[in-house]
């Protein structure tokens, strides 16, 4: 691992600007820099203190060899004491936990090589410190040694991106090569440096119909076991409408943010906004993970008035996982797992994502998009949809329809799907039979259990279709091949809010039916509960990050209209002090920072904000923040 010496900052206290100078040697032993979640080991017995200060109360001593995880996202230099950098540590098997000087710490299991890149980096630098940073593309190519050509980045290395804008030049994507490949036990990681805000950006609005060249970050098929974390990707072009009729089949007018063809690539805690399609995952990208990303305001209008541009657009053969992402306010679909006949969609896992108000930004007369779509013109199997949440705001717009579609109303016959423990809230105010909360079609095997389906909201009407099911596979009812049990359906069971195809050839359509007629005709939902009115109690969901213990997401369905809510973050968030952000506007935190002790519940206020407008959009602005529904991010 490359080491950095910790600066003697005390002489700079009266001159703030000198804090920007390169770090200088310190007479203390060399100290490693860590990130939140890193595992450390003590090189000798060490005092543990209540604060990052040599004079702070001693909580006890941890012995040489003790292991723990870094809790604080950046170390704190004790300028009033021993001038070393202190780290907040959660020890794994012993107590006490607390602050320990970096002179006692090393990475557990050996050193972690760390390099730096910046917008002004040079290929002649050695990458070992901020002042020696490389350019980003040089690092993505393995930072070849100028004399030997051999890569200086290896499996398991960590590459920190420093502050600033990393601009895409022309049509040349940022593109890692196989030189940076990691392994299953040693991922190579490109991530924001502690306290930094790196932005990958482009400025283009045109159609070139070439996926690689049109993409801000392209991960090719030779790349494997690499993580991209805590970065922002954005298109700053102001054109949101393509006027050229020749571009009607164009799929890259505002360019894609990410095109992934690599194996076991992880995209973690990224901000992806104002792009064309935020993410496209290719057929043969094995084992890709999309975890905790915030995806919003993507897409554009075509010359015929229709819209395009989705949040997460997946193909898959052996598997892709989307976990804990927040996807909202696209011109097109939120999650779009779809393909024509030439591609595959198998083994897709959608787990714990929240997708809302997608399809709401474009010109409404010609738009129709879903929060979640799984299915296309090619068959799919081995799919899991579990623990996801959706919402459509008010007043409803015509571009928001078919809230959740599991299966496609086309000839492709799908295999097996599991749909469980989801909380799906649709429009519920449009009488059109195709403004659906949930649509399922063309599965030879489906398990649908413990879901909550809501088509009524407080103060709103209850119209449109709650559930539509089709099969075209068996002469008997769907209940002979699907298992549909234990769900909660919020719609008056006497209303005409359910429909289904009643013949194997899908030639006879039932139109709107009551719950009892649908249940008897399909033999589905025999143990489901129905509720005539909207929910009357708050529903709060929360999750942590698989990659960052200092980050949590909270979703609140505030059906009571209350001014605050309580959430249990035990096992989801490390102890610490956190800022709270409403995802509708991430420019500043809401309220004061909160302190969490590492277990139990905390109470947070319902904080409404002015939504972030899409760059250059001439159409409907985002919905005003909604007292009934909010999503919050907690981070240091």
CATH number, domain of 21, equals 2.30.30
Residue 2 maps to a domain: no
Angstrom CA distances, 101 to 8, 71, 246, 455, 488, stand at 15, 14, 63, 55, 53
**CA contacts within 13 A on the Cβ side of 138:** 24
- Assigned token pair, 291: 């975890």
For 193-214, the pLDDT digits (tens) are 999 999 999 999 888 765 556 7
Per-residue pLDDT, averaged over 182-192, amounts to 89
C-beta separation of 201 from 239 below 8 A = no
Q: Residues 577, 631: one domain?
A: yes
Kindly indicate the confidence band of residue 177, based on its pLDDT and cuts at 50, 70 and 90: very high
Residue 4 inside a domain? The answer is no
- The predicted model gives 19-23 an average pLDDT of 26
Inside any domain, residue 71: yes
In this prediction, residue 110 carries a pLDDT of 61
User: Residue range 98-112: average pLDDT?
Assistant: 80
End-to-end CA distance of the chain: 26
Residue 519 counted as domain residue: yes
* In a shared domain, residues 365 and 480: yes
Could you tell me the two tokens for 120?
Answer: 């002004």
Whether residue 419 is found in the same domain as residue 293: no
Q: How confident is the model at residue 475 (pLDDT cuts 50, 70, 90)?
A: low
Q: Is the pLDDT of residue 379 over 80?
A: yes
Cβ contacts of 184 within 8 Å, gap of 6 or more: 225, 264
Answer yes or no: do 530 and 502 share one domain. Answer: yes
List the CATH number of the domain containing 554: 2.60.40
| 110: alpha, beta or left? (left if phi > 0; alpha if psi -120 to 50) | left
Lowest mean pLDDT among 39-48, 244-253, 299-308: 244-253
- pTM listed for this prediction: 0.82
> Residue 227 — pLDDT band, cuts 50, 70, 90?
very high
Q: Average pLDDT, stretch 599-618?
A: 91
Rounded CA gap, 383 and 304, in Å?
34
Inform me whether the pLDDT recorded for 131 exceeds 50.
yes
276-285, 391-400, 427-436, 570-579, range with the lowest pLDDT: 427-436
pLDDT, tens digit, 9 for 90 and up, residues 264-303: 999 999 999 999 999 999 998 999 999 999 999 999 888 7
Please compute, for residue 582, the number of CA atoms within 13 A of its CA located in the half-sphere on the CB side. 21
Count, in order, helices (H) and strands (E) of the chain. Answer: 2, 51
pLDDT for position 265 = 97
In a domain, 1, yes or no: no
Q: Is the pLDDT of residue 22 over 60?
A: no
At 425, is the pLDDT very low, low, confident or very high (cuts 50, 70, 90)? Answer: very high
Q: What is the pLDDT of residue 137?
A: 97
Query: Cα separation of 317 and 346, whole Å?
Result: 5
Least confident of 48-52, 476-480, 576-580: 476-480
Among the listed ranges 28-32, 388-392, 418-422, which one has the minimum average pLDDT value? 28-32
Q: Check pLDDT > 90 for residue 122.
A: yes
User: Percent of the chain, pLDDT > 90?
Assistant: 51
pLDDT-derived band at 4 (thresholds 50, 70, 90) equals: very low
Q: Output 97 or 208, whichever has higher pLDDT.
A: 97
Structure tokens at 378: 């090619």
Domain count, the chain: 4
Task: Say which residue, 556 or 169, is predicted with more confidence.
Answer: 556
pLDDT band at 237 (very low <50, low <70, confident <90, very high): very high
Q: Say if residue 517 is in the same domain as residue 599.
A: no
Task: Classify each residue of 571-602 as buried b or exposed e, where b means 16 or more C-beta atoms within 10 Å of its C-beta.
Answer: ebbbebebebbbbbbbeebbeeebebeeeeeb
What does pLDDT average to over the chain? 85
Which of 308, 310, 391, 402 has the alpha carbon at shortest distance from 356?
391
Q: Are strands 488-490 and 452-454 parallel, antiparallel or unpaired?
A: parallel
Nearest-angstrom CA–CA distance, 322 and 267? 10
Are 464 and 358 within one domain?
Answer: yes
178 domain-assigned: yes
Residues paired with residue 423 on neighbouring β-strands, in sequence order: 389, 452
Q: Do 499 and 603 have their domain in common?
A: no
Q: Give the residue-averaged pLDDT of 340-357.
A: 91
* Tens digits of residue pLDDT in 151-166: 999 888 999 999 999 9
Residue 5 placed within a domain: no
What's the pLDDT band for 399 if we cut at 50, 70, 90? low
Amino acid 307: pLDDT: 83
pLDDT at residue 18 in the model = 28
Q: Domain range spanning residue 183?
A: 113-309
- For residues 380 and 283, the answer to whether their CB atoms sit within 8 Å is no
User: In this model, does residue 481 exceed pLDDT 60?
Assistant: yes
Contact, 636 vs 550, CB < 8 A?
Answer: yes
Q: 235 with 353, same domain? A: no
pLDDT of residue 27: 27
364 φ/ψ angles, rounded to the nearest 5 degrees: -75, -25
Q: Does 479 share its domain with 580? A: no
103: left (phi over 0), alpha (psi -120 to 50) or beta: alpha
Last residue within a domain, chosen from 511, 534, 557: 534
Confidence of residue 435 (pLDDT cuts 50, 70, 90): low
**Rounded Cα distance, 586 and 580, in Å:** 10
Rounded average pLDDT over 499-511: 65
Pair 52, 103 in one domain = yes
611 pLDDT more than 50? yes
Cβ atoms of 110 and 129 closer than 8 Å: no
Per-residue pLDDT at 2 exceeds 60: no
Share of the chain above pLDDT 70, in %: 86
- Pair 294, 344 in one domain: no
Structure confidence at residue 508 (pLDDT)? 58
């Amino acid at each position: 691992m490359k080491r950095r010496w910790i600066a003697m900052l005390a002489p700079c206290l009266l001159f703030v600007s000198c804090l920007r100078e390169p770090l200088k040697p310190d007479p203390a032993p060399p100290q490693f820099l860590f990130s939140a979640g890193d595992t450390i080991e003590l090189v000798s017995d060490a005092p543990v203190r209540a604060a990052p200060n040599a004079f702070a109360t001693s909580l006890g001593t941890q012995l040489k060899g003790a292991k723990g995880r870094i809790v604080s996202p950046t170390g704190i230099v004790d300028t009033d004491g021993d001038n070393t950098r202190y780290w907040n540590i959660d020890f794994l098997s012993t107590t006490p936990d607390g602050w320990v000087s970096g002179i006692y710490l090393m990475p557990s299991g050996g050193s972690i090589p760390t390099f730096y890149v910046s917008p002004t980096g040079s290929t002649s630098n050695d990458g070992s410190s901020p002042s020696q940073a490389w350019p980003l593309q040089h690092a993505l190519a393995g930072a070849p040694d100028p004399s030997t050509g051999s890569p200086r980045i290896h499996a398991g290395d960590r590459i920190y991106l420093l502050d600033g804008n990393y601009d895409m030049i022309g049509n040349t994507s940022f593109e890692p090569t196989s030189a940076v490949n990691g392994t299953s036990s040693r991922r190579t990681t490109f991530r924001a440096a502690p306290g930094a805000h790196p932005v990958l950006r482009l400025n283009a609005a045109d159609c070139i119909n070439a996926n690689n060249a049109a993409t801000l970050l392209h991960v090719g098929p030779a790349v494997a076991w690499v993580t991209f974390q805590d970065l922002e990707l954005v298109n700053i072009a102001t054109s949101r409408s393509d006027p050229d009729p020749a571009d009607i089949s164009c799929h890259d007018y505002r360019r894609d943010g990410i095109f992934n063809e690599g194996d076991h690539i992880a995209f973690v805690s990224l901000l992806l906004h104002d792009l064309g399609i935020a993410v496209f995952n290719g057929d043969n990208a094995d084992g890709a993970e999309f975890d905790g990303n915030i995806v919003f305001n993507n897409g554009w209008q075509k010359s015929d008035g229709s819209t395009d541009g989705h949040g997460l657009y997946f193909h898959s053969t052996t598997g892709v996982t989307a976990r804990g992402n927040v996807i909202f306010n696209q011109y097109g679909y939120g999650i779009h797992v779809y393909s024509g006949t030439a591609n595959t969609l198998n083994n897709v896992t959608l787990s714990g994502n929240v997708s809302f108000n997608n399809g709401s930004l474009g010109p409404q007369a010609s738009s129709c998009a879903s929060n979640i779509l799984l299915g296309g013109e090619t068959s799919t199997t081995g799919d899991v949809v579990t623990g996801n949440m959706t919402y459509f705001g008010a007043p409803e717009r015509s571009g928001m329809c078919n809230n959740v579609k599991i299966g496609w109303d086309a000839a492709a016959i799908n295999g097996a799907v599991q749909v469980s423990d989801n909380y799906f809230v649709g429009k519920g105010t449009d009488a059109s039979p195709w403004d659906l909360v949930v649509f399922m079609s063309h599965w030879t095997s489906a398990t649908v259990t413990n879901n909550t389906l809501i088509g009524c909201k407080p103060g709103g009407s209850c119209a449109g279709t709650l559930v539509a099911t089709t099969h075209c596979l068996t002469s008997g009812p769907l209940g002979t091949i699907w298992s549909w049990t234990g769900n909660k359906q919020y719609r008056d069971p006497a209303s005409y809010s359910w429909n289904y195809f009643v013949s194997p050839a899908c030639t006879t359509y039932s139109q709107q039916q009551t719950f009892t007629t649908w249940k008897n005709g399909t033999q589905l939902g025999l143990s489901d509960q129905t509720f005539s009115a909207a929910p009357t109690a708050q529903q709060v969901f929360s999750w942590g990050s698989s990659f960052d213990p200092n980050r949590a997401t909270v979703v609140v369905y505030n059906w009571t209209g209350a001014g605050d809510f309580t959430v249990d973050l035990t096992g989801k968030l490390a102890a610490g002090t956190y800022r709270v952000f409403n995802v509708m506007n991430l420019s500043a935190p809401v309220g004061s920072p909160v302190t969490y002790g590492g277990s139990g519940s905390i109470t947070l206020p319902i904080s409404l904000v002015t939504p972030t407008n899409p760059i250059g959009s001439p159409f409907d602005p985002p919905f005003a923040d909604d007292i009934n529904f909010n999503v919050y991010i907690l981070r240091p």
